[in-house]
Chain A
Amino acid sequence: MGTTTTAERPATAAPAPEPTRRPGRRFRWTTATSYTVLSVLALVYVLPFLVQLANSFKTDAEAAADPLDLVPVPPTLNAYAQLFQGLPFGLAATNSVVVALSVTAGRVFFSCLAGYALARLRFRGASLVMAVFLAVIAVPPVVLLIPKFLVLNQLGIYNSYAGLIIPLMADAAGVFIMRNFFTSIPTSVEEAAKLDGAGAFRTFWSVVLPMARPAVITITILSFQASWNELSHFIVASNSPDLITLTKLVAQLASGGQGQATQYPLKLAAALLMTIPVAVLFFVFQKKIMSTAEGAVKE
């Protein structure tokens, strides 16, 4: 572009400063535009959370009158107090912690075991097992909503912690992530361990697993995030108030199922508190999450 414009100009014009100044000016102009556009977009992505934070410290009337006012004067802790007084927020939080930690521990351990076996151990039927894992990955979770209830009912673990936890441990994707990782690391260290007479589990536990730290961290984050944010499974796995989880409680608050009509500060506060654990996890492992291609894929 620069050359064409210069060529059209009469040759008498001083050519030296022209080409350097023009692209320079245009460059700065596009940069400014792209920064402006990106900043506006970033604001669109961040503002909902700021609005949420600010309004959770307001009274119902203030939140309705001026939702965009980001500095509540004076801030009130009413909404937060209500969560712990009239509502089972503490119980739901405890249940969510218990369930998410158990599910994560189970998923990570079983995925590592199976992934290692499929990558390294020779046994008849291994390819069939692989095929099963591959096939179940294709089943959309929502289709399992009713079917899962049928199984839990049949097994007699409807309305129990076991019913909340164990089904969520089924995780074919985790098995594949671990298998791919184990296939990608060299076998020499394990062979040394084998020569020393270590059994398969010893080799796995004290030699292989420590080497697999990056992949283990990845599936730990994915598992925790998925089980913490899970809703539909908890809906079909229990209806007992003692087994309520945070997602279920907040969903009920939102739809007025706990007697709340339009108490937005209360709902926003509850949603904010339940976001904290995954947000902390995100900021701690940010570098790691941002560089993993698998990412956490949410529906």
Chain B
Amino acid sequence: MAALTTTSAATPPTPRRRSGSARRREAGAGWLFTAPALALVLLFIALPVLMALWVSITDWRGRGSPFEPGVPVVGLDNYRDLLAGGGLPTQDLGTALRNNLWYVLLVVPTQTVVALLLATAVNDKLLRGRGFFRTAFYFPSVTSSVAITVVFLFLFSASGAVNQVLSWLGINGPNWFADPDGVLHLLLGVVGVDSAPAVLADHGLLGVSWWEWLAGPSVAMSALVLLAIFTTSGTFMLLFLAALQNIAGEVSEAATMDGANAWQKFVFVTVPMLRPTLFTVLTLGLVGTWQVFDQIYTGTQGGPAKTTITPAYLSYTASFTNGQWGQGAAIAFILFAIIIVLTLVQRAVLRER
């Protein structure tokens, strides 16, 4: 905006009529220049959202156009079926939310901490081979999610590299992507708790019992958690690295003079100064992990035993596989709402203090 005023102020005195037409020409150019980008964004982002909002209150089955007069309008039925129906749609959504929640809870904090530690390490001016380390940590972020998922399917296959390494340590690795057991259930099994206490088994949310909510990510989902941390930590490392390089050396030196050791300096000086970046990384992490789709489509297709279905994948299968477009669109909007609410909550929590 400031630049605009400067431009006009610097315009040399010209006859009034010409300046008027020049201004009109400038306005025309302004609209002409923004028109293509604006049209694309309206046509392929804004309009689709409105159309899907319409479809989510219909029972369109994918034939013809959803805007034809014959398409049954069902109001909020799709949302009610999903959130309060108690049938299969509710149960599937509940399972998908459970799966994705564990995924988010494990991926977001871990990728943030790993990225921060990697950034701190490769920011060290005395470190030799900084370029090599930065490249090594960032490279997975460049590759496509499809390609890297294929590699992980191989690494975590029954006789794969991961299990081979585990066998050197005397551990009999699981058949990762085929194992639906919840990690927390497995841990409880170790201490002798094999079945659900009645309180947890008899009550639940969204058609899923509390015992199942507390199952933890399945072994298959855990492999996808590792995959996510592996591919995103490099991206976030770069964001932290850029921020670290902006922290003036004097601040750190002053802290050293005051007698702070490396760890105290990191916790009390560096981390507080990284607050804005931390906010960005957590937001991007949260928004990204709630949208996990490519890895599921490529790797597990929701299996084993539905332990890797996510709301995004469920929305896709409801529409494209089962032809229930109204329901699929409603799931997309529920996911949209979750992402918005969580982003706002996170903003409130992090901004307040």
Contacts and interface: CB of A to CB of B under 8 A. Distances in A.
Interface of A: 1, 31, 34, 38, 41-42, 45-49, 51-52, 55, 63-68, 110-111, 113-114, 116-126, 129, 132-133, 135-136, 138-151, 153-154, 166-167, 169-172, 175, 182-183, 187, 191, 195, 199-201, 204, 225, 228-229, 231-232, 235-236, 247, 250-251, 253-255, 262, 264, 267-268, 270-272, 274-275, 278-279, 282, 286, 289-293, 295-299
6 contacts: A48-B152, A126-B34, A147-B55, A175-B37, A187-B10, A251-B149
Contacts of A251: 146, 149, 294, 297-298
Interface string B292-324: 111001110100000000001001100110000
B66 A52 contact: no
B43 interface: yes
Contacts, number: 325
Given A51-B151, A110-B40, A124-B27, 4 more contacts: A48-B230, A133-B38, A264-B154, A299-B145
A296 B145 CA distance: 13
Contact of A150 (B52, B147, B333, B335): B52
Contact of B38 (A45, A129, A153): A129
B43 A254 contact: no
A142 B293 contact: yes
B136 interface: yes
A129 B26 CA distance: 16
Contacts of B121: 34, 38
Interface in B121-180: 121-122, 124, 126-127, 132-155, 157, 159-161, 164-165
B3 A117 contact: no
B298 A139 contact: no
Mostly helix, strand, loop or mixed at chain B's interface?
Answer: helix
Contacts of B33: 113-114, 116-117, 121, 200, 204
Contacts of B157: 67, 262, 264
Contact of A290 (B10, B149, B238, B329): B238
Contacts of B26: 121-123, 200
A176 B298 CA distance: 32
Q: Which of B26, B65, B292 has the most chain A CB within a 10 Å cutoff?
A: B26
A182 B34 CA distance: 14
Contact of B154 (A31, A129, A267, A289): A267
A143 B37 contact: no
A147 B37 contact: no
Contacts of A119: 3
Contacts of B138: 289-290
Interface stretch (B77-85, B196-204, B283-291): B283-291
B154 A255 contact: no
Q: Which of B49, B118, B261, B292 has the most chain A CB within a 10 Å cutoff?
A: B49
A255 B294 CA distance: 12
Contacts of B55: 146-147, 150
Contact of A142 (B147, B154, B335): B335
Contacts of A118: 34
B39 to A, nearest CB: 9
Q: Which of B118, B151, B243, B333 has the most chain A CB within a 10 Å cutoff?
A: B151
B20 interface: no
A149 B118 CA distance: 40
A268 B148 CA distance: 9
A291 B255 CA distance: 27
Contacts of B13: none
B30 to A, nearest CB: 3
A133 B27 contact: no
A227 B78 CA distance: 33
Contacts of A153: 65
Nearest to B239: A295
Interface string B32-61: 011011101111111111011001000000
B341 to A, nearest CB: 13
A297 B235 contact: yes
A144 B160 contact: no
B146 A68 contact: no
Contacts of B336: 139-140, 143
